[in-house]
Amino acid sequence: MNNGCMIDLRTPGELDAMRPAGRFVASVLEATRAASVPGANLLEIDALAHRMITAARAESCYIDYHPSFGASPFGKVICTSVNDAVLHGLPHDYRLAKGDLLSLDFAAKVDGWVSDSAVSFVVGGDESPQDHALIATVEEALARGIAAAQPGGRLGDISAAIGEVAHAAGYSVNLQFGGHGVGTEMHGDPHVPNDGRAGRGFPLRPGLVIAIEPWLMVGTDEIYTDDDGWTLRSADGSRTAHVEHTVAITPDGPLVLTARG
């Protein structure tokens, strides 16, 4: 049962064709992270990503993106979420300060195939113990979620693995936004919640490609939308972090298409 969802399974040849998009998305996140130093403007980071898209003859998944929850087309090519912003951070005229907690989320299409990935880090490199714990938790949740993406398993195995890490570290989990299917479009079925029960949900079959994306907030599981109509912030103003990889299920286990480094 897929409850009416349209879920595509990719052939080995199609998975090979998706690899360039994954490599490109990884390269843009590496470049924009390196450029995210104290004093850098969020609009400069967006412009760098835009130049890389143009040079690669890729397509932005964000600039014309206008889902029901967005106030208008996004208009930029990368999400830059700072401190209490956790998702969909709209780049604006803001200069990063040492100690800011920044999440970069980027998706692009190369030769008709999409990849999507995100990273969180502290600008300038100095992490408070709280920031270190938060980032370490979302990264561990992502690693555990990927490890659970095994052929023959269920989607709930991934959700349960993520949620287990979050709850063990003392965080609550928001289920309004989560991972998703990836293919010729950025968002597709199935939805991948960041908490759930193992052994439940859609079967994990070879050829399934999903974005796995844990995100957490220090003091709450509630969010609100900023006046810009896009940026989602923690309801209590606490710090946030978000990480993501595009992952293919293969007969040999999970394949991370957006691996960096």
**Biggest alpha carbon distance in the chain?**
51
End-to-end CA distance of the chain: 38
- The length of the chain, given as a count of residues: 261
Residue ranges per structural domain of the chain: 15-256
Cβ-based neighbours of 143, under 8 Å, separated by 6 or more: none
Q: Output the pTM of the full model.
A: 0.95
213 assigned binding-site residue = yes
In sequence order, what DSSP letters do the residues of 166-198 get, joined into one string? HHHTT-----SS-EEE-SSSSSEEEEE-SS--T
**Confidence band (pLDDT; 50, 70, 90) for 70?**
confident
227 assigned binding-site residue = no
- Please check whether residue 196 is in contact with residue 163, taking contact to mean a CB–CB distance below 8 angstroms: yes
Strands 101-110 and 113-122: antiparallel
Residue 3, burial from CB neighbour count under 10 angstroms (0-12, 13-18, 19+): exposed
Q: How far apart are CA 117 and CA 94, in angstroms?
A: 23
30 assigned binding-site residue = no
Residue 6 confidence (pLDDT): 79
Residue 1 confidence (pLDDT): 33
Q: How far apart are CA 90 and CA 246, in angstroms?
A: 22
Strands 179-181 and 188-192: antiparallel
pLDDT, the chain, mean: 96
To 10 degrees, what angle do helices 42-56 and 12-35 make? Answer: 140
211-241: per-residue pLDDT in tens?
999 999 999 999 999 999 999 999 999 999 9
Location of structure tokens 């490199």? 125
- Please check whether residue 124 is in contact with residue 106, taking contact to mean a CB–CB distance below 8 angstroms: no
- Please check whether residue 81 is in contact with residue 89, taking contact to mean a CB–CB distance below 8 angstroms: yes
116 assigned binding-site residue = yes
Fold of 15-256: Creatine Amidinohydrolase (3.90.230)
169-217: per-residue pLDDT in tens?
999 999 999 999 999 999 999 999 999 999 999 999 999 999 999 999 9
- Please check whether residue 246 is in contact with residue 92, taking contact to mean a CB–CB distance below 8 angstroms: no
Q: How far apart are CA 100 and CA 131, in angstroms?
A: 10
CA angle 244, 247, 253 (to 5 degrees): 135
- Please check whether residue 105 is in contact with residue 81, taking contact to mean a CB–CB distance below 8 angstroms: yes
92 assigned binding-site residue = no
Residue 5 confidence (pLDDT): 61
Q: Which residues on adjacent β-strands are paired with residue 154? A: 203
Residue 136 confidence (pLDDT): 98
Residue 2 confidence (pLDDT): 41
Phi, psi dihedrals of residue 95, rounded to the nearest 5°: -95, 125
115-167: per-residue pLDDT in tens?
999 999 999 988 899 999 999 999 999 999 999 999 999 999 999 999 999 99
